[in-house]
Structure 1
Amino acid sequence: MSFTSLGLLDPLLRTLERLNYLTPTPIQDEAIPIILKGRDLMAAAQTGTGKTAGFALPLLHKLLQEGPRVSDNRTRALVLVPTRELAEQVLQSFIMYGQDVPLRSYAVYGGVSINPQMMALRKGVDVLVATPGRLLDLYRQNAVTFGQLQMLVLDEADRMLDLGFAEELDQIFSALPRKRQTLLFSATFSEAIRTLGKELLRDPLMIDISPRNAAAVTVKQYALPVDKKRKTELFLHLLAQRGWGQVLVFARTRNAVDQLVEALQKKGITADAIHGERPQPARLRALARFKAAEVQVLVATDVAARGLDIDALPHVVNLDLPVAAEDYVHRIGRTGRAGASGEAISLVSADEVAQLAAIEALMGQTLPRQEEPDFVPTHRVPVTTLGGHIVKKPKKPKKPKIAPGKGKSKIHLGNWFDES
């Protein structure tokens, strides 16, 4: 199967050929013809399998063929995403695939000034990529209206609900025209998303390319047990001993991110951070430096678990396990993309065994454990089973009690004792 056989327009095919995209991935192969026919669609696929192109290419095709030129303060296709990083990634995909077509794409999100975004929307945009909160702000100020909207895409809709965007989404949906094509794309589908799909889509077709919550087979995964207080020390040891190049590290909190970056910089290692407390320009600058190989280690919270598309990233390290097991799948999905091999290492302490068990239950596999000789933990990480259970070690039998006496000891043996 080739992109030519999918029926895409020549300008798009020429761009794909120039990008050396020769064969569509399974999600692209199935989704593109359905979208070109105008059907609503719910599609699930592992992260890194090309689902952005799966909806971007047919959207650009249809916008070229259908409908009048976009008017001021309007958009013809709306793509909703959960995070600023994913908004930028999706926008860059539209710009890359649409470089030979006369269509305009733009992204809006919070964390930056709204005024330049209002100015950019004055002449209208064909494709608008947006986070829900900022889109509502613009809509309430009449900076964008939806009278010409033809297509709606929800990308990573499960994450939008996880982040508490349900109310904002309801407000957006009520403002959109009922006559439209709606697409739901995600790496995973929760029951809440399936319910949303039934309410939002009209007679949708379903595509499920991969098992739910599965990690890419190209990613080698394992856990390294370690005491909590030695995690940073172990990471620095691994970085030096194994000669790693670029590494993406996930930590649970902003403080943990900043502390690791500080420790790396003290060792002369180039490092930068992405977390919710950093201004958006700083976050984008950190990602750009990492992509340009100006930074060896990028440390992030789960704000970056979805939305980071980095070519040939060999290593992802979980300094801390995520609270939500689903986020583990998205974290390690930053490596092993597009068929490349990758390695995902989790530094696990004893107090994280519940999260480890939940991750293994979700994925249906136990993570192999390796021990680094000089970092064997004092507090051992309990054994887990595939059912997500924690195997507790049997308690040692109690020793007979020795009762103190006046210069003597009494050894209790039932109702008898011997004084000696």
Structure 2
Amino acid sequence: MAFKKLHPHILESFERLSIDSPTSFEKSCIPVIKSGANVFCIGAKDSGKTTTLIITTLQKLKCEAVGNAPRAVVIVENKEKVLELYNAFLNYTKYSTLRVYASYEQLHIDVQKSEIYMGIDILITTPKTLHKLFLSNGVSISELKICSIDDAEFLSVKSETTSLITTAASIKKCQFVIYAEKMHPQLKRLENHFMEHSKIIQK
């Protein structure tokens, strides 16, 4: 197995999913993300961005449920992306205790609040939904360890970026990882907000 120093549950998932070795992108990004740095991970389509996101999230949470508040948040563009990533996570969390929750604007906010209150580990959501949950005390961000943004090109829309920056300003001691195909100026500007001292990996 070419993946090194990963949680045994992740290695077992690779075996079950017939994943033998990391892509060049995964090989470059995973060690840097594991170090705890804020990272911009820039790679072409199908380079392994989603797998990297899932692996590093599970590694950070040690593949086990703890407490009730989410310790990882994954931000994507819309409901379709939320459900797509939710199903991708389930492939890896199937035999673990980790609780993954799909959150999006079309789902009533009160339903989300009550379901999140029951306890989750990984919250997959959109910037506006996360902001709405945060403002209505529907989610605690006090235990957050890692916040990842997948296919971050959608942040070129000002309202999405504003929602994200506003929420991120209240998050303390959290690692941020952004995945995109290109390093757009809009992404670069996030260094002035929550991506301070970040590293850029381009493959």
Count, aligned residues: 203
> 1:114-151 CA distances to partner (integer Å, 9 max, x unpaired)?
33322210122111111011122222221101111111
* Aligned partner of 1:193 among 187, 195, 198: 187
**Alignment of structure 1 residues 11-26 onto 2, 5 Å:** 11-26=9-24
- 1:186 counterpart letter in structure 2: A
> 1:351-381 CA distances to partner (integer Å, 9 max, x unpaired)?
xxxxxxxxxxxxxxxxxxxxxxxxxxxxxxx
- TM-score, length of structure 2 as denominator length: 0.91
Cα separation, 1, equivalents of 2:67 and 2:181: 31
Give 2:154's aligned residue. Answer: 159
Q: Aligned pair 1:69/2:63, yes or no? A: no
Q: Would you say the 8 A contact 2:63–2:97 is kept in 1?
A: no
More strand by share: 1
Cα separation, 2, equivalents of 1:95 and 1:105: 8
* Aligned partner of 1:92 among 87, 90, 112: 87
Q: Aligned pair 1:208/2:186, yes or no? A: no
Give 1:133's aligned residue. Answer: 128
- 1:201 counterpart letter in structure 2: M
SS at match of 1:176: coil
Give 1:57's aligned residue. Answer: 55
Give 2:2's aligned residue. Answer: 2
SS at match of 2:144: coil
Cα separation, 1, equivalents of 2:112 and 2:186: 32
**How far apart are residue 110 of structure 1 and its match?**
1.0
Cα 1:59–1:91, aligned 2, differ >3 Å: closer, same or farther?
same
Q: Aligned pair 1:121/2:116, yes or no? A: yes
Q: Which runs of 5+ in 1 are unaligned?
A: 210-420
Q: Would you say the 8 A contact 2:165–2:193 is kept in 1?
A: no
> 1:23-65 CA distances to partner (integer Å, 9 max, x unpaired)?
1111111111111221221111112222011121121012017
Cα separation, 2, equivalents of 1:162 and 1:142: 25
Cα 1:174–1:97, aligned 2, differ >3 Å: closer, same or farther?
same
* Aligned partner of 1:78 among 69, 73, 77: 73
Cα separation, 2, equivalents of 1:137 and 1:180: 20
**How far apart are residue 198 of structure 1 and its match?**
4.7
**How far apart are residue 163 of structure 1 and its match?**
6.3
Q: Would you say the 8 A contact 1:81–1:160 is kept in 2?
A: no
RMSD of Structure 2 on Structure 1 (CA): 2.0
* Aligned partner of 2:175 among 165, 178, 181: 181
Cα 1:163–1:19, aligned 2, differ >3 Å: closer, same or farther?
farther
Cα separation, 2, equivalents of 1:139 and 1:91: 21
Q: Would you say the 8 A contact 2:73–2:144 is kept in 1?
A: yes
Cα separation, 2, equivalents of 1:163 and 1:111: 21
Give 2:25's aligned residue. Answer: 27
Q: Would you say the 8 A contact 1:154–1:185 is kept in 2?
A: yes
Q: Would you say the 8 A contact 1:7–1:33 is kept in 2?
A: no
Cα separation, 2, equivalents of 1:85 and 1:163: 20
Cα separation, 1, equivalents of 2:166 and 2:158: 16
SS at match of 1:117: helix
More relative contact order, 1 or 2 (CA 8 Å, 6+ apart)? 2
Q: Would you say the 8 A contact 2:191–2:197 is kept in 1?
A: no
Give 1:258's aligned residue. Answer: none
Give 1:391's aligned residue. Answer: none
Instruction: Name the % identity.
Output: 25
> 1:65-110 CA distances to partner (integer Å, 9 max, x unpaired)?
79x9223xx2101111111111111111221112222111111111
Give 2:44's aligned residue. Answer: 46
**Alignment of structure 1 residues 386-401 onto 2, 5 Å:** none
Q: Which has more radius of gyration?
A: 1
More helix by share: 2
**How far apart are residue 195 of structure 1 and its match?**
1.6
Give 1:112's aligned residue. Answer: 107
